[in-house]
Structure 1
Amino acid sequence: MSKNIGFISTRFAGSDGVSLESAKWAEVLWDDKHVSYWYSGRNDRDPGCSYCVPEAYFGHPENEWINERIWGHPRRNPEVTERINAMADYLKQTLYDFVNYHNIDILIPQNVLAIPMHVPLGIALTEFLAETQMPAIAHHHDFYWERTRFSIGGVKDYLDMAFPPSLPHLHHIGINQAALEQLALRKGVTSTLMPNVFDFDNPPPQADRYTSDIRKEIGISEDDFLILQPTRIVPRKGIEHAIKMVGMLNDDRYKLVISHDAGDEGLDYKHQLEEMAKQEGVDLRFFAARIGEVRQVDHQGNKIYTLWDIYKHADLMTYPSTYEGFGNALLEAIYFKVPVVINRYSIYVQDIEPKGFKLIEMDGFITQNLLDQVRRVIEDKEHRKSIVDHNYKVARRYYSYTVLRRVLRHHIAMLTGDAPNASPRTKESSK
């Protein structure tokens, strides 16, 4: 039976992991005729199925006031407690209004019960679930104990209560094995592993005329090799390794392009990368100003491309991160059949590496063997094709929508007692 699904988060907008993965979940749920609705503080979903509450956004002034007084401080004063509870009470009422207005059957909190960027919302949702006993599936992307900035704070009671809560009608899904183990150890909560996914049953469309000039707009020629770093410019992405690698390749044809900006973590790291690129003689291009959520033309008349557009023209993807909760960019590169240089971060080693991908691996530093592998995968077209085709097949087996559909059907059936529906046909099989 079809259900009305209510997704809950502080934000469903942009290209962050929560926004991207929640949209994929909604797409898979729609295949089984479940209708998704969206509760958040910021939202770029269809207004007809969205319920936007500004106070639910983690950047709302009231929440920022609270965060300034609870993080980095071992205790909180009574005024902070009062304002946390007041905001939680208000948000809880908006959750009741959202559920009643859209006749929600199942809630899917997206990371809001895992990382305490909005403590009042976590409290509100926990109390709402306890009061209503509504079936819910909490999708956890990263937990507070994984982030240094949440290591000291005056809200341990709230963390114990709501991040995440332990309730009999609340199921938990995490994106990596280490998170599941820590959740069981710290909270005594059992959970299901469901990593990030892509629609590997339906290959991406080929590059079209819209993107035919993208290399020219970046400032590189057709004979150059486009090495893509498709991440935000933050230290844990390890972008200095990508610069070092390109410098050691010692070939003017290799151009390093970063598709995202520094975001809200400051520009110091970006300036360090610029200086390093000069010292290493690396042609480093920043292209974030021309990458958007949709194709359009900006106020200066420049074409805006999507991240998917640039993947289709990339010769290699660098992913030298020191830490990732999973690694969505890795799946994107494999989906678009781009070879990958990857640093063996812990989650990759535990969860992804055993699957049998053929990636160019590094262990925190660049070796001559790695450089030889890079040259071969870029310049030997037959070798490149064998690598990317193999990776696509492996990803289709472990990280496709089919895998997600099976997990969601299981949890919905367990929560509601309804038998799962028959498998929908893929686009390929319906042709």
Structure 2
Amino acid sequence: MGKNIGFMSFRISGTDGVSLETKKWAHILERMGHRCFFMAGELDTPPAVSFIAPEAHFQTGEIKEIYQECFNNQFRPPKLTKKLHMYRERLKEEIAAFIGKFSLDVLVPENTLTIPLNIPLGMAITETIAETGIPTIAHHHDFFWERKRFLRNCVWDYFNACYPPHLNSIQHVVINSSAQNQLALRTGINSTLIPNVMDYATPAPGIDDWNRDVRKVFAIDDDELLILQPTRVVQRKGIEHAIELVARLGRKAALVISHASGDEGYEYQQRVHDYADLMKIRAIFVDDLIREKREYTADGRKTYTLYDVYPFADLVTYPSIFEGFGNAFLEAIYFRRPIMVNNYSIYSHDIKPKGFEVIEMDEYLSDRIVALTREILDDPDRVGRMADKNYAIARKYYSYEMAEEALHFLLKTFFGA
């Protein structure tokens, strides 16, 4: 019998990694016969299955102030403790209303018990689970100890209790083996590893009447390579390496960067602009034209999804220094594009051993890697063979079917066969 499953996060909206994976899980669970509902401070899910709780967002005024106080003090002012508990209680009431409105059987906190962007929310979810015993699958994308900015704080007691909580009715899921090892070492908590996934059983969308003008709109010449950096402009994405590669290729090429910096500040984005100018390459920032769905802007311009751009990419660059997993890697494989990837730790430990054939740099661009990139770009038959091989591997290890099997097992631990 299908269950009512409630996803909870700060926001489930847009194209950030957590929102994307949340929607993938929901799709998988729904095709298994379950019903999915959503609670967050910002939602773009259908209204009939949505519960908006503004104070669940990390950008809400008072919640944002609490966050800043938590990570700018070594000792916690009593007023801050009172505020934390006041919002904890308010959010507990919202969670209770969410559970009651949709008669939920299972909760799925998405990163809310993992990264302390909204500590009252983490406290509220933890207390709700402790008091009700509701079956919970805590989906962890990136733990607080992976981010330097969280290590100076005045809330270690709440970290130890809630990030993540060690409760009998919670099954913990992580997206990479390093997180699985660290979670066990730091907390003694066992977890299930379910990596990010793609629907490899369904062919990727291609070129149609809506997106066939992408190259023209981006002002890319017919004889110019389109090299796609399908990420936000944040420091850990290592975009300087993509710029250097374009500069050293000796080909007419443009680097298309799909997203802006988001909520992590614009200093690095300016650095990328300046570095592209310094290296004398054409970097095209198209974040104003990339949306979650196809539509027209207020001034009449057509927008595209990232999936509209992939079919035109001659090469995808993914030179990240650190990633929790690597959605862009899976997407490049899905669209059968050649990919240049940095040997970041999760790629090295979890993805590389599967046998993918990619252009792999190891922290810096060598002459050998630049030459290999030229060879691949000049050999369409080789690109096709690489694409077929990579797609088959990805379908085996990172498919919806693999995630479905793992989620079915987790639900069986709560409800039996």
**TM-score, normalization: structure 1?**
0.95
Q: Which residue of 2 aligns with 1:210?
A: 210
Q: Distance in 2 between matches of 1:309 and 1:378?
A: 21
Deviation of 1:355 after TM superposition, in Å, equals 0.4
Q: Distance in 2 between matches of 1:103 and 1:263?
A: 35
Deviation of 1:300 after TM superposition, in Å, equals 1.7
Q: Distance in 2 between matches of 1:37 and 1:307?
A: 26
Q: Distance in 2 between matches of 1:214 and 1:127?
A: 49
Q: Which residue of 1 aligns with 2:190?
A: 190
Deviation of 1:374 after TM superposition, in Å, equals 1.1
Q: Which residue of 2 aligns with 1:320?
A: 319
Deviation of 1:169 after TM superposition, in Å, equals 1.0
Q: Which residue of 2 aligns with 1:297?
A: 296
1:116–1:144 CA contact under 8 A, matched in 2 = yes
Q: Which residue of 2 aligns with 1:151?
A: 151
Q: Which residue of 1 aligns with 2:37?
A: 37
Q: Distance in 2 between matches of 1:164 and 1:267?
A: 31
Question: Counterpart of 2:317 in 1: which secondary structure?
Answer: strand
Q: Which residue of 2 aligns with 1:219?
A: 219
Question: Counterpart of 1:206 in 2: which secondary structure?
Answer: coil
2:206–2:308 CA contact under 8 A, matched in 1 = no
Q: Which residue of 2 aligns with 1:129?
A: 129
5 Å matches for 1:70-89?
Answer: 70-89=70-89
Q: Which residue of 1 aligns with 2:238?
A: 238
Deviation of 1:259 after TM superposition, in Å, equals 0.6
- Could you report, residue by residue, the CA deviation over 1:171-210 in whole angstroms, capped at 9, with x for unpaired residues? 0000010001110111110001111000011111221111
Q: Distance in 2 between matches of 1:298 and 1:327?
A: 30
Deviation of 1:264 after TM superposition, in Å, equals 2.2
* Greater mean deviation of Cα atoms: 198-207 or 170-179: 198-207
- Could you report, residue by residue, the CA deviation over 1:237-289 in whole angstroms, capped at 9, with x for unpaired residues? 000011111111122x2111101112222222222222222222211111111
Amino acid corresponding to residue 70 of structure 2 in structure 1: I
Number of residue equivalences:
417
Q: Which residue of 1 aligns with 2:4?
A: 4
Amino acid corresponding to residue 64 of structure 1 in structure 2: K
* Greater mean deviation of Cα atoms: 40-49 or 273-282: 273-282
- Could you report, residue by residue, the CA deviation over 1:136-186 in whole angstroms, capped at 9, with x for unpaired residues? 100000001001110010001100001100111100000010001110111
Deviation of 1:32 after TM superposition, in Å, equals 1.2
Amino acid corresponding to residue 342 of structure 1 in structure 2: V
1:5–1:108 CA contact under 8 A, matched in 2 = yes
1:2–1:34 CA contact under 8 A, matched in 2 = yes
Amino acid corresponding to residue 297 of structure 2 in structure 1: D
Amino acid corresponding to residue 321 of structure 1 in structure 2: S
Please say if 1:350 is aligned against 2:349.
yes
Amino acid corresponding to residue 138 of structure 2 in structure 1: A
2:205–2:307 CA contact under 8 A, matched in 1 = no
Question: Counterpart of 1:5 in 2: which secondary structure?
Answer: strand
Show structure 1 runs of 5+ residues with no match: 420-431
Question: Counterpart of 2:248 in 1: which secondary structure?
Answer: helix
Q: Distance in 2 between matches of 1:165 and 1:138?
A: 9
Show structure 2 runs of 5+ residues with no match: none
Identity of aligned residues (%): 44
Q: Distance in 1 between matches of 2:11 and 2:299?
A: 29
Q: Give the 4+ runs in structure 1 shifted more than 3 A.
A: none
1:258–1:287 CA contact under 8 A, matched in 2 = yes
Deviation of 1:55 after TM superposition, in Å, equals 0.9
Q: Which residue of 1 aligns with 2:161?
A: 161
Amino acid corresponding to residue 280 of structure 2 in structure 1: G
* Greater mean deviation of Cα atoms: 336-345 or 262-271: 262-271
1:113–1:140 CA contact under 8 A, matched in 2 = yes
Q: Distance in 2 between matches of 1:363 and 1:110?
A: 32
5 Å matches for 1:15-414?
Answer: 15-251=15-251, 253-414=252-413
Q: Distance in 2 between matches of 1:345 and 1:156?
A: 29
Q: Distance in 1 between matches of 2:385 and 2:250?
A: 26
RMSD, matched Cα: 0.9
1:58–1:64 CA contact under 8 A, matched in 2 = yes
Question: Counterpart of 1:104 in 2: which secondary structure?
Answer: coil
Question: Counterpart of 1:51 in 2: which secondary structure?
Answer: strand
Deviation of 1:377 after TM superposition, in Å, equals 1.8
1:137–1:172 CA contact under 8 A, matched in 2 = yes
Q: Distance in 2 between matches of 1:171 and 1:383?
A: 43
Q: Distance in 1 between matches of 2:140 and 2:247?
A: 38
2:226–2:254 CA contact under 8 A, matched in 1 = yes
Q: Distance in 2 between matches of 1:343 and 1:250?
A: 21
Q: Distance in 2 between matches of 1:327 and 1:162?
A: 26
